[in-house]
Amino acid sequence: MFKKTLALLAILGFASLALAQVEQNIQGAGMIDWTDQSVKSTGIGALNPKLPPSAQRKNALRAAQLDAMRNMIETLNGVLLTSETTVENAMMSSDIIKTRVEGIVKNFRFTSKPRYMSDGSVEVDMEMLLTGKVGDVLYPEQMGGKTPTYQNLPSNFNAQEPQTYTGLIIDATATDAMPAMVPAVLDESGEGIYGQDFVPREAAVRNGVVVYAKTMEEARANAARVGSNPLVIRAVKSSGLNKADLIIADNDVENVAVIADNTDIYDNCRVIIVLKQ
C-alpha cells in the first residue's frame, strides 16, 4: 500500500511532500524548508481594547497579517542565495530587488484560515515558495549557457552513458555544507560541474537549482525530482564563504562526466543534495 501511495505522489509531482524536510529556523522570524523550497512565517495580532468591539477582531487579523509579512521578509533575508551572498545582501545591493520582493510579500493572499485564540488574539501562517515569482526576482540574471568541460579527465575517457541516468543525487553527509538557492558543484581543481553557469534561468525559477534531503533513502524516493535511476556521487568537502558549494573527488568526476550531455538533468534541475543532520 505504501509503495502504491508513494508512486501516486511521484506521478502527481508531490513526492517531496511525503519526505522529512530539511528545515532551517530563523530566530524569532520563521523557517526555511529546503525540501519543498518554501519560506514560512507566523504572525500574531492582539485585540485593541480601545476600538469598538465590532472592529477589534478585524483589526487583530490585520495586525497578525502585517506581523507575518514582517517575519516573512526577515526570514527571506536569512536565505542563502549562493555560497557568497544572502538574500539580505542582494536586497541591500539592489533597490529593485528589494522593492520587488517587498511587493510580492505585501500583495500575498493568505490562504490558510486564521486561528482565533482564547484571549482574543489572532494567529496567521504565511508560506511562500522560493521558486516562481520569488525565484524570478532572486535568481541571478545570468544563468546557464555553458556545458562543463571536464578538463582533467583521462585521455581514454568514454563519454557514453552506460545507462540512461534520470537525475543526480549528491551525498554531502560527510561535509558541513549548508543549503542555498544556487549552490555550485566543483571538482578538486575548482572547475564547475553544476550550478549557475550550467542551469537555464527559466528552469531554476520553475524548479529550483536543487532540492535538499535528509537521507539517501528519502532522496531516492523523490522520483518526481530525480527519476527512477539517479546517478549517486559523494561530496568530499564544502566550499565558499557560506559553505554552500560542494567539492567532489577527482575519481568521481568521470562518473559525473557521463551526464554532461544529458540535457534533461541540467535543463530540468534534476538534482538532490543530501545533507548531514
Residue 20 confidence (pLDDT): 67
In a domain, 114, yes or no: yes
pTM: predicted TM-score of the whole model, two decimal places:
0.87
In a domain, 108, yes or no: yes
In a domain, 70, yes or no: yes
What does the chain look like in DSSP terms, one character per residue? -HHHHHHHHHHHT-GGGGSPP-EEEETTTEEEETTTTEEEEEEEE---TTS-HHHHHHHHHHHHHHHHHHHHHHHHHTSB-SSS-BHHHHHHH-HHHHHHHHHHHHTPPP-SPPEE-TTS-EEEEEEEESSHHHHHHHS-SS--------TTS-TT---S-SS---EEEEEETTS-----SS--EE-TT--EEESTTTS-HHHHHHH-S-EEESSHHHHHH-HHHH-SSEEEEEEEEEESTTS-EEEE-HHHHHHHHTTTT-HHHHHTT-EEEEEP-
Residue 191 confidence (pLDDT): 92
In a domain, 71, yes or no: yes
In a domain, 207, yes or no: no
In a domain, 62, yes or no: yes
In a domain, 57, yes or no: yes
Q: What is the pLDDT along the chain (277 residues), one digit of tens a residue?
A: 333 333 433 433 433 344 568 999 888 889 999 999 999 999 999 988 889 888 888 999 999 999 999 999 999 999 999 999 999 999 999 999 999 999 999 999 887 899 999 888 999 999 999 999 999 999 999 999 998 888 778 777 777 777 789 999 999 999 999 999 999 999 999 999 999 999 999 999 999 999 999 999 999 999 999 999 999 999 999 999 999 999 999 888 888 888 888 889 999 999 999 999 8
The boundaries of the domain holding residue 113 are 22-138
In a domain, 56, yes or no: yes
The tally of domains found in the chain comes to 1
